Structure 1
Amino acid sequence: MTGTSARFPPQSEESETVPDRVLNIGVVGCAAIARRAVIPALAAEPSVRLVAVASRSRGKAEAVARRFGCEAVTGYADLLARDDIDAVYVPLPPALHAEWVARALAAGKHVLAEKPCVTDLAQAAELVAAAHDAGLLLMENFAFLHHGQHDAVRALVEAGAIGEPRHLNAEFAFPPLPVGDIRHTRALGGGALFDAGVYTLRAATAYLGPEVTVHGAVLRVDPDTGVDMAGAALVADQDGRTGQLTFGFDRSYRCACTLWGSEGSITLDRAFTAPPTLRPVLRLVRQDHVEERTLPAGHQFAALVALFARTVLDGGDFEGPAQAVLRQAALVDAVREAAGSGPGRGAIY
């Protein structure tokens, strides 16, 4: 294995100073999000060595490997069989995640899974148990949580800038996708809930807390494809703080969060998809005061990749990310159940 193995983080003080102590990572799939955002972050992170990228197509694997200076592998299983890889990033279509994340864990690899990590709670429970039993990290890729704009919101809330938080509005939607896009394919885990709605649900747990629950939902399903094109959910925590979540790929672009408190509100207009060069604007509104703050740019994918690598290399918190996977899957199931389209139930048109 090249460098220091990260499968079982070194414990000695001397090992902490080894300069070539890196996490050897492979990529299982060549999805657009991987090529556009995550693989560049992996390739640029000093604590990561990008070893190889796999595709079912030799040509696609070679094209991506040439671009990022790593090896090309034909077939996902062949990449998992390599002993020079400690961890994998899995950006496959959602319906394929459970199989390949399970196989990666069985092969002894830490896993960074593209969102949604799984398509239901039962799958999440199985994978979290497997990761726990093997002593491996399982983390879901919600990169937006690691952008500094959300730290700025939390700091203002803690300072009492909006009084007591009462309500969250989280919205993520974009114009219709091309007809052939895999997000129109139900068998692959398509649909607006898995693609956009999961962001709003994750924002709800981030701002309202881990005990948030679903109290109602609507999914508008395309009768031709069987996938949900848009939806909304009402959530609340144990103290009665509420959240209105809206998502879809059937309308103009919107990517915003507003946290509404007893004395004011805070809004982010690029809450989930701020590109690395964007200096996001935070809007603070109080009774006699409106303020817009231009925040520093941030690379949320770079921050996520660095956190993933650091957690493995330093033997950090594996339990927290695993529990987040379970909570997120439970909320997705709850939205589908509330909308009448849960596992084993018919779609709502």
Structure 2
Amino acid sequence: MTAVRFGVLGCADIAARKMIPALLDTEHAHLVAVASRNTEKAERFAARYGCTAVTGYEALLDRADIDAVYLPLPATLHAEWIERALHAGKHVLAEKPLCTDGTTAAALYALARRRGLLLFENLMFLHHSQHTAVTEALADIGELRGFSSTVTIPPKPPGDIRTLPVGGGLLLEAGIYPLRAAQHYLGPGLTVTGAVLRRSAGVVLSGAVLLHDAAGVPAHLTFGMEHGYRSSYELAGTTGRLGLDRAFTPPETYQPVLWIRRQDHYEERTLRADHQFANVARAFTEAVRRGDGMPADADASLRLACLVDEVADRAEVVDV
């Protein structure tokens, strides 16, 4: 395959700000069309990016000149349109979360395997080089004894997708970042010790989760949209601590700072800037061109969906 021909299902802000520009800058990626249920919105997007406007998601999936779709729809719509895209023979790059529960995630991955198609969850932070630097520095803090992470944003006005049931709530919108990071550093076999979720009108606004691995090493995570902005994690070891303060959504020009603290010692390591959306676009495009099939982290995405289920099942829910 010379180039991967992309269609975009939906005109979400994340598509406009991040992923479409990244696709346009990716070698061997060609943006063919963007679809919206609203014709005028599709035409505005298409004019902005020099592609074809399509009215309706089904019409885009019916096109023979599209190999893969990028799907930035609200979380509760992901499963339906991923399934339809796979049945239409399209590879799928889906914004996180892949879907809203583990059973559905397993069914979608099974369908993708049967169809010989790539299904890729866009947890873009995993593709930033700063986390490799953290992994390499873990030896500086001894044996790992704990992980903590916070992802919070200020409150959003009524009508914002994150305040509506269709958005899936902040456990899926924000909590998924520290949950996946905890899996990344503590391993896949995490157990939910306890959780609390604050909810309004059926929508999760914020929460906290306590997890542990098989050796009892804990992970304490907080998330929500009732706070000032934070996007950080910290790892504690037997001889020190280290962490990042812009762990999940750093701008492409931002140079991350990895801090390391031990007794009578503190240092900061300024890391190179990296463009995690461009890295995702390139990795997905090349995987489609090679015919790789399922990505190496598909099992991790499935385990993450199941972990979110466990958090929701175990949590004490407080309606406010």
Structure 1 residue 108 and structure 2 residue 89: aligned? yes
Secondary structure, in 3 states, of the residue corresponding to 1:206?
Answer: helix
Instruction: Give how far 1:213 is off.
Output: 2.4
* Contact in 1 for aligned 2:100/2:168 (Cα 8 Å): no
Aligned to 1:14: none
Which residue does the alignment assign to 1:338? 314
Partner Cα separation in structure 2 for residue 62 and residue 321 of structure 1: 35
Which residue does 1:215 correspond to in 2?
A: 193
CA distance in 2, matches of 1:279, 1:227: 35
Task: Report the TM-score, using the length of structure 2 for normalisation.
Answer: 0.97
1:179-218 mapped onto 2 (5 Å cutoff): 179-186=158-165, 188-218=166-196
Alignment of 1:297-316 (within 5 A): 297-316=273-292
CA contact (8 A) 1:140 1:325 kept: yes
The alignment-based identity, stated in percent, is 53
SS in 2 for 1:301: helix
* 2:150 match: 171
Give the aligned partner of residue 11 of structure 2.
Answer: 30
Instruction: Tell me the CA shift for residue 319 of structure 1.
Output: 4.9
- Residues 1:161 and 2:140 are matched in the alignment: yes
Deviations 1:77-105 (A, max 9, x none): 01111111111111000010010000000
Q: What is aligned with 2:233?
A: 257
- Local SS of the residue matching 1:49: strand
Give me the TM-score of the superposition, normalised by structure 1.
Answer: 0.89
2:294 to 311, 314, 318: 318
Contact 1:169–1:245, Cα closer than 8 Å, also in 2: yes
Counterpart position of 1:7: none
CA distance in 1, matches of 2:249, 2:152: 11
Report deviation, 1:348.
Answer: 4.9
Q: Runs (4+) of structure 1 moved beyond 4 Å?
A: none
Which residue, 229, 234, 247 being the options, matches 2:205? 229
Distance 1:324 1:310 in 2: 20
Q: CA deviation at 1:209?
A: 1.2
Instruction: Give the Cα–Cα distance (whole angstroms) in 2 for the partners of residues 76 and 213 of structure 1.
Output: 38
**Alpha-carbon distance, 1:340 to partner:** 4.5
How far 1:190 sits from its partner (Å)? 3.1
Distance across 2 between alignment mates of 1:152 and 1:319: 23
Post-superposition offset of 1:146: 0.8
| Letter paired with 1:198 | I
SS of 1:234 mapped into structure 2: strand
Alignment of 1:119-158 (within 5 A): 119-157=100-138
Aligned residue type for 1:309: T
Among 291, 304, 309, the alignment partner of 2:267 is 291
CA contact (8 A) 1:198 1:332 kept: yes
**Matches of 1:163 and 1:314, distance apart in 2:** 40
Amino acid at match of 1:35: A
Deviations 1:49-90 (A, max 9, x none): 111111111111111111112111111001111111111111
**Distance in 2 (alpha carbons) for counterparts of 1:236 and 1:316:** 33
Q: CA deviation at 1:313?
A: 1.4
Residue in 2 that maps onto 1:80: 61
The equivalent of 1:9 in structure 2 is none
**Matched pairs, number:** 320
Alpha-carbon RMSD across the aligned residues, in angstroms, is 1.3
Mapped partners of 1:43, 1:133: distance in 2: 30
1:247 offset after TM fit, Å? Answer: 0.1
Structure 1 position 183, deviation (Å)? 1.3
Partners of 2:107 and 2:264 in 1: CA distance: 52
* TM-superposed deviation, 1:315: 2.8
Unaligned runs of 5+ in 2: none
The counterpart of 1:45, out of the listed 26, 37, 41, is 26
The runs of 5 or more residues in structure 1 that have no matched partner are 5-20, 342-346
Q: Is the 8 A contact 1:183 1:190 kept in 2?
A: yes
Q: Distance in 2 between matches of 1:25 and 1:74?
A: 16
Q: Is the 1:257–1:267 Cα contact (8 Å) retained in structure 2?
A: yes
